[in-house]
Amino acid sequence: MDNEPLYLYKLIIIGDSGVGKTTFLYKHNMNITLVDFHITPTVGIDYYSKKIKLKDKSYIKTNIWDISGKQEFRIIVNFYIKEISAAFLLFNLHDINTFNSIKSWINNLLLNNSCDHYFQHPIILIGNKFINKTCMVTKKDIDILVEEYNLIYYEIDIFNVNHEMIQDLFDKICNLINEKNIKTNTCKGIKKITNNLNFSNNKKENCCIIS
């Protein structure tokens, strides 16, 4: 069938604990609001699969990994970073410590990725902001970081943003992977799908939550 995905993209969502990673993922996959769903922070690892249509009209499948930001799980993070095609990196605009951790997260991405072309993998940086709260991170500091690491930056209120905005960000990162023409035979974060018979969209796979 024409709408069956041919490739699997492995994406990862990282950042310090409590910055909104799990809410970001759940809003993408389940089209929820905080009014009708209670979200607790990830303990260990969790992931979802979802089919996405690219600009060129082809379809890909994504495995989206939500990794706990707690310090005790950093070794696990380094393992899952090894084979990715792109990353979302989140921080809290009202907590300077979560911003100061960004370089450490990026260095982990660069040091632990097993692809020779890791520098081509898109990284979207997301600053989570809240209405009527003072930002503790300056635009100048964000601009310097974005330029230094060639990041793509967005500011959103993850708790109030709608599903469509989150979907747009996932569409963008997948199209960036496709546009960068990363060789699928050498990128360990991209796998060719050989059997699509059992694939269903918006499916939560067997999670890897560690308690």
- Model pLDDT for residues 29-70, shown as the tens digit of each residue: 766 555 444 455 555 577 788 899 999 999 999 999 888 766
Query: Greater confidence, 174 or 46?
Result: 174
C-alpha to C-alpha distance for 183 and 82, rounded to whole angstroms: 17
Q: State the pTM of this model.
A: 0.84
**Cβ-count burial of 155 within 10 angstroms (0-12 exposed, 13-18 middle, 19+ buried)?**
middle
Q: What digits encode the pLDDT tens for the residues 181-192?
A: 666 667 888 988
Q: What digits encode the pLDDT tens for the residues 126-166?
A: 999 887 788 999 999 999 999 999 999 999 998 888 888 99
Q: What digits encode the pLDDT tens for the residues 75-105?
A: 777 777 888 899 999 999 999 999 999 999 9
Q: Does domain 7-192 have CATH number 3.40.50.300?
A: yes
Domain assignments of the chain as residue spans, ordered by start: 7-192
pLDDT at 1: 54
Spatial CA neighbour of 100 closest among 62, 44, 142:
142
pLDDT at 133: 84
